[in-house]
Chains A and B, each alone.
Chain A
Amino acid sequence: MRRVRILMGVAAIAVAIGLWFALTAPPDALQGEYARLLGIHPPAMWLAFLAFGVTALGSIMWLINRADRWDRLASASVEIGVIFTAIGLFTGMVWGQAVWGTPWDWQDPRLMSTAVMFFVYLGYLALRNAIDDPTVRARRSAILGVVAVIQVPLVYFSVNLFRTLHQTQSIRPDGSTMPDEMLTAMLVNMVAFTILYIALMAARLDVARAEAEAKPETSLAGDAVRPPLLNEIEDV
């Protein structure tokens, strides 16, 4: 518990520093103040990719050695990934409205593929929610976790594969297309969001461990009632 509090504290400081960098960077010549979304939108999507990658890793590890901790890691990471995908989509729509004049463009493959990824992982969470047996739940969600991660490279490279309103990657092997202040703000926020992810994962894993330990003692409604056995039934 103390470890989680310390991590949360560190994450809060890191996010505050990240916000300070985003808010003090100079506005963009074309996009104006909206360019400050660079401090939230790309880091949120980076965190979503990281989270779904960790889910795939946890799923593969569970399929290899069947240890509960890998299943807990995979499911906790999906929950965080889905939240940050939603944040990424929302901030992207706000940015799109300001820059493209529309929050949603049906012909934009980055938007579409991100929304699809969001729904696939909502399906993952719905699948987990529908299964009571922990082992069956772990097996089936591990399989879906491995299949679903195919979406991540599709989303990332969609801007290179198709014609799109969304810009291509700003950081390339031959350097960055952004001014140094903007690049610094984005990178600091990416580090801050990564620390936030670690803190949220630590907290969620603690809860998942506690849930797993509490499960054997949890009784369902009607558990106290059982049908009579044959030898208990008296002839009438």
Chain B
Amino acid sequence: MTFWKQALEIARVDMVVERRAGETLRIVLPFSVVALMVFPLALGLQLNIVSVVGIGVFWALGILFGMQVALRQSATDTAERRDLQALAGVDPAARFAGRVLSGGVLMAGFLGLMLLATAILFDPNVPRGGWPVLLVSTVLVAIGLTELGTLAGEVTTGLRARTPLASLIVAPLALPLVIGASQAVQALERDTSILPWVLLLIASDLALAVAGVALARPLEEATR
């Protein structure tokens, strides 16, 4: 089996498990929409402020709840499953790539639905031509956040405080993604080029992909 066939098979199995468990669509997504609804109430229903901070709230909550998607239980391998994959000769790098593929699709879908909810609930101030930029940024953030979450999830596999610990690792490292995504839209408002911010997002995604593939084998050993 080639590298990509292994990766696609891992991704397919992940998606099947997620379809059965429904962690992202049935739990994390409704929770994040509730959080979006709480925010205007906390601001005292000042609708002008809600429109101004709308996209910022989307990115903040998107990163926080996106971590829950990246660290979802259905993407956590049991020790037995890991042993089985190792015996079957699955390349650890292919496992990382597969997990990022499935997680990235889920994350992009999750963030896309959250963006839709933000657009409906917050009616955010978005500059002309801002929505396509937001969509591109969302996809790039989804990829980076999934890569980060997969790395942090592997490093914290089997630990008692896995979720808060992995979040502590992911949240600060996700900051280049938040900065790149938020500044890309702000650049449109300032009438400056969005290219440096999109490049920052692409560079972060690539650096994390390289780190994930290069460290896949030590990570495989680390979780035994």
Our pick among A109, A119, A150 for the contact of B207 (Cβ within 8 Å) is A150
Complex Cα spacing A63 to B171, Å: 25
| In contact, B156 and A63 (Cβ under 8 angstroms) | no
Can you name the residue of chain A whose Cβ is closest to the Cβ of B200?
A: A161
Complex Cα spacing A126 to B172, Å: 14
| In contact, A142 and B218 (Cβ under 8 angstroms) | yes
Complex Cα spacing A110 to B215, Å: 28
Residues on A with beta carbons closer than 8 Å to the beta carbon of B156:
127, 130, 140
Can you name the residue of chain A whose Cβ is closest to the Cβ of B158?
A: A136
Complex Cα spacing A120 to B159, Å: 18
| In contact, B155 and A127 (Cβ under 8 angstroms) | yes
User: Which residues of A (107-130) have their CB < 8 Å from a CB of B?
Assistant: 109, 112-113, 116-117, 119-120, 122-124, 126-127, 130
Asked if B52 is at the interface (CB within 8 A of a chain A CB), the reply is: no
| In contact, A130 and B222 (Cβ under 8 angstroms) | no
Can you name the residue of chain A whose Cβ is closest to the Cβ of B176?
A: A154
> In the complex, which range does the number of interface residues on chain A fall in?
20 to 34
Distance between A209 CB and nearest chain B CB, rounded to angstroms = 23
| In contact, A122 and B168 (Cβ under 8 angstroms) | yes
Residues on A with beta carbons closer than 8 Å to the beta carbon of B218:
63, 139, 142-143
Residues on A with beta carbons closer than 8 Å to the beta carbon of B222:
136, 139-140, 143
Our pick among A124, A147, A150 for the contact of B215 (Cβ within 8 Å) is A147
Complex Cα spacing A150 to B172, Å: 12
Asked if A131 is at the interface (CB within 8 A of a chain B CB), the reply is: yes
Query: Residues 89-129 of chain B: 1 if any A CB is under 8 Å from the residue's CB, otherwise 0?
Result: 00000000000000000000000000000000000000000
Can you name the residue of chain A whose Cβ is closest to the Cβ of B175?
A: A116
Complex Cα spacing A218 to B161, Å: 23
Instruction: Classify the interface of chain B: helix, strand, loop or mixed.
Output: helix
Can you name the residue of chain B whose Cβ is closest to the Cβ of A63?
A: B218
Asked if A208 is at the interface (CB within 8 A of a chain B CB), the reply is: no
User: Which residues of B (127-176) have their CB < 8 Å from a CB of A?
Assistant: 151, 155-156, 159-161, 165, 168-169, 171-173, 175-176
Instruction: Classify the interface of chain A: helix, strand, loop or mixed.
Output: helix
Our pick among A123, A143, A148 for the contact of B165 (Cβ within 8 Å) is A123
Residues on B with beta carbons closer than 8 Å to the beta carbon of A148:
173
Residues on A with beta carbons closer than 8 Å to the beta carbon of B179:
109, 112
Asked whether A139 and B161 contact (CB < 8 A) given A122-B168, A150-B207, the answer is no
Distance between A120 CB and nearest chain B CB, rounded to angstroms = 5
Distance between A199 CB and nearest chain B CB, rounded to angstroms = 29
| In contact, B165 and A127 (Cβ under 8 angstroms) | yes
Distance between A149 CB and nearest chain B CB, rounded to angstroms = 11
Which A-B residue pairs are the 10 nearest by beta carbons?
A139-B222, A119-B172, A123-B169, A123-B168, A116-B172, A140-B222, A120-B172, A130-B159, A116-B175, A140-B155
Q: Which residues of A contact B (CB under 8 A)?
A: 63, 109, 112-113, 116-117, 119-120, 122-124, 126-127, 130-131, 136, 139-140, 142-144, 146-148, 150-151, 154
Enumerate 25 A-B pairs (CB-CB under 8 Å) in ascending A order. A112-B175, A112-B179, A116-B175, A120-B169, A120-B172, A120-B173, A122-B168, A123-B169, A126-B168, A130-B161, A131-B159, A139-B218, A139-B221, A140-B155, A140-B222, A143-B151, A143-B155, A143-B215, A143-B218, A146-B211, A146-B215, A147-B151, A147-B173, A151-B173, A154-B176
Q: Which residues of B contact A (CB under 8 A)?
A: 151, 155-156, 159-161, 165, 168-169, 171-173, 175-176, 179, 207, 211, 215, 218-219, 221-222
